[in-house]
Amino acid sequence: MSASAKAPTNPEGHAMSFDPRHRSRHLYEGYDRAPARAMMHGIGFSREDLAKPCILVANTWIETMPCNYHLRRLAELVKEGIRAAGGTPMECNTIAISDGVAMGTEGMKASLVSREVIADSIELVGRGHSFDGLVALVGCDKTIPGAALALLRLGVPGLVLYGGSIAAGKLDGKDITIQHVFEAVGALAAGKIDEQRLEQVEDAACPGAGACGGQYTANTMALGLEFLGLSPVGYNTIPAMDPRKEEATRQAGALVMKLLEKGQRAADVLTPASFENAIAGVATTGGSTNSVLHFTAMAREAGIPLELADFDRVSRRTPIYASLLPGGEFTAPDLDAAGVCRLVAKRLLDAGLLDGAQKTADGRTWAEHAAEAQEAAGPHGQRVIAPAGQPFKASGGLVILRGNLAPDGAVVKMAGHERTAHAGPARVFDREEDAFEAVKKNAIEPGDVVVIRYEGPKGGPGMREMLGVTAALVGQGLGESVALLTDGRFSGATKGLMIGHVTPEAAVGGPIAALRDGDEVVIDTEARKIEVRLSATEIARRMKAWRAPAPRYTVGVFAKYAALVSSAAEGAVTRADLTALTAPASRARTNTLSRGRAPKPKAQVAKAKPGKRSAGSRVGAAPSGRRGKVTVRGRRAR
């Protein structure tokens, strides 16, 4: 603060301990900042505007999907709320990739990569223009964790506001969603419906703007952010085109100014217990396995320990109280009508499964919000959320498996099917497209274990979701008789015994790379096991002959991502190799050389044997004796 500046005061004129202009003051205050102010005058910002706290409104609007299409309208509303509460909003836009549109194509590899680009771009604007606070408007899947990661990195007061669910489509008097379109594709391939019926499902499934309407990844993460305290309680469940969204958005703009006045940042509400609350919220609603990936990434950004075992522990003790698609009966707007997140929290709190002392976005506790829960009335009550003490299932939907196929873990969602075990022959595919072709040709048989590998964070790169394959299998009537195993991901709309996030992934020499057609794969979710019936000796023999495939991309964003991304067990986060900045000078010089900034001295260059990759390869097998452990740029993963 400059010597001439007054101490910060709130609208009532009272002095505040936290400076609401803690960052923008350095950008716009003082005679030496006249050039910056002059630039802003050119686009309509007055001296008075620039003397107020500056709030970044980070929008993820895009015209390539319904999920984010309505966010321009919400941006204007949240800016109204910010201005009315004494702030100056400034809007920027970042990217978004539609999982539903890109699913099953090479473009789907961009989805998880986009989470990092979204986080990086919002962080860059926030730092570059010294914003005091942040409101991020999000919709499709990766925009939600991407914005949350940016908020955590910036360390400013702020909120992540979810645009809301699309309304359910109507066909033959029943609600349908995009999930039903994917399943109809499989039904057509199996000859169960004709093309005219597929077109009817296609035309009815998406009646307007908003994100996919079940408890798929977007709605899962939106609910999770309310439990974490990064979104206002009850805001995210309001459907996209519901008239209530407008006033709620203005109020959210005012709330961010209150957070700024108090100096409440994301780090002030995020705790190990709040992450456990969020996991419980996901588990009890049968939410997406992608929450494992995103919560893990967010916890690492916040410096909070969170491991795969924590998800399994919390989910095991948490019953399923909500009957939501894909595993249940109802859509996300039905949850809003039944009693929103507060009612879910009340069920968990009454069962002793939620820490009611944790703070929400408005600073109040979950116990306070749960006490205000209002359950939908009516002649038959509501059927979306089960009565207290009468859950739909005794334990939650997220299960972590380990074994000789996944030493570092794999994730399966148990909501939506009753099978807890499966054993069958592996049908191995090295690309999602090859597996989908086999499904379309009706080449998958009951009992098979479909294996799709080299689709992990590095191998894809980008860890594609496999909804096209899984939904087609369900549409063909194979959902209860086959299993699927991948080092890629599954959409939140996936149902059936589908195991994803297998780590270590195939591209770094994980044991899944040793699988061959016909190998018997055994899945036992009760025992938390995923194994192939091969001896350790046989797996080692196969892996000795294994060679890492050539990178699919050698330039551009995918190549950069593959070089930096960590294991799915660590949230598939990208991180720089900072060894050179902390190592002794001699070692730092070696690291600099190895990155190609100068050629290595000839004495340091070891020729690789034909068919083998050098030790400096970005993707390769783990060292002998440590196979199955993920190595990230020369370091063993935690």
- Give catalytic residue positions: 491
Structural contact between residues 279 and 295, judged by C-beta atoms closer than 8 angstroms? yes
Q: Taking Cα atoms as reference points, which of 535, 401, 510 lies closest to residue 453? A: 510
Q: In what order do the strands lie in the sheet with 88-93?
A: 88-93, 54-59, 133-138, 158-162
Q: Is the dihedral of CA 244, 246, 247, 252 positive or negative?
A: positive
Residue 161 token pair: 């506001």
Beta strand residue intervals within 68-178, DSSP E: 88-93, 133-138, 158-162, 169-171, 174-176
Q: Taking Cα atoms as reference points, which of 212, 176, 185 lies closest to residue 290? A: 212
What is the residue whose two structure tokens read 């003082």? 30
DSSP label of 596:
I
Distance (Å, rounded) from C-alpha 22 to C-alpha 45? 19
Distance (Å, rounded) from C-alpha 366 to C-alpha 349? 9
Structural contact between residues 465 and 99, judged by C-beta atoms closer than 8 angstroms? yes
- ∠ CA 278-114-561 to the nearest 5 degrees? 110
Distance (Å, rounded) from C-alpha 469 to C-alpha 183? 9
The gap between the terminal CA atoms of the chain, to the nearest Å, is 42
